[in-house]
Amino acid sequence: MSMDTKLAELIDRHEIHQVMLRYARGLDRLDNDLVRACYWDDAIEDHGHFVGTPDDFVPWADGTTLLFESTQHAILNHVCDLQGDEAFCETYYHFSGVTAEGPNFMSTGRYVDHFRKRCGEWRIANRVTIVEGTYDVPKASRAPSPQTAYTAEEPCQATRDRDDVSYHRPPVPRRPK
């Protein structure tokens, strides 16, 4: 394989992985435009209790995510079989959702994706989400625990929208005392 071919393959793999990361970030930040941009218009999402188009999936996922105070979609092992302008990927995920009163929720599984490259851009053409485990996780006891990192005077900078510090360019840290 020539160096140019290897480089092109590395770039394609990187761009596909970036789609996966944007998808997870979009879900956690409730950034529906970011999630939607990960799919081609003619894609089908087969996601447990949901099967449908991206335009129907995004509000469904948003409504599910809103059940939690905060969520984290972690993208884990990722394998990608490149075949020209198509790719067949399997990506493990770990999802956690925090609730006010508990129990918290956790899910593990895999995204089995068919990606297509159109006009130089990779997006999800079809997805089957395989949920392999779901778990209720009890809230941790509040007594006795180390002091929280955040206070009313210095609250956490995390938000579930574009006000989140991750959207700031550059990010603005709190000032030392």
Residue 90 lies in a domain: yes
Q: What range does the domain containing 94 cover?
A: 3-139
Domain count, the chain: 1
Global pTM reads: 0.89
Interval 102-161: pLDDT, tens: 899 999 999 999 999 999 999 999 999 999 999 999 987 655 445 566 777 777 778 899
| Sign of the alpha-carbon dihedral angle for 75, 129, 166, 99 | negative
According to DSSP, the residues that pair with 89 across neighbouring strands are: 80, 113
Of 90, 23, 20, 91, the closest CA to residue 58 belongs to: 23
Which CATH number fits the domain that encloses residue 95?
3.10.450.50
Token pair belonging to 42 = 């003619």
Query: pLDDT tens-digit profile of 56-67?
Result: 999 999 999 999
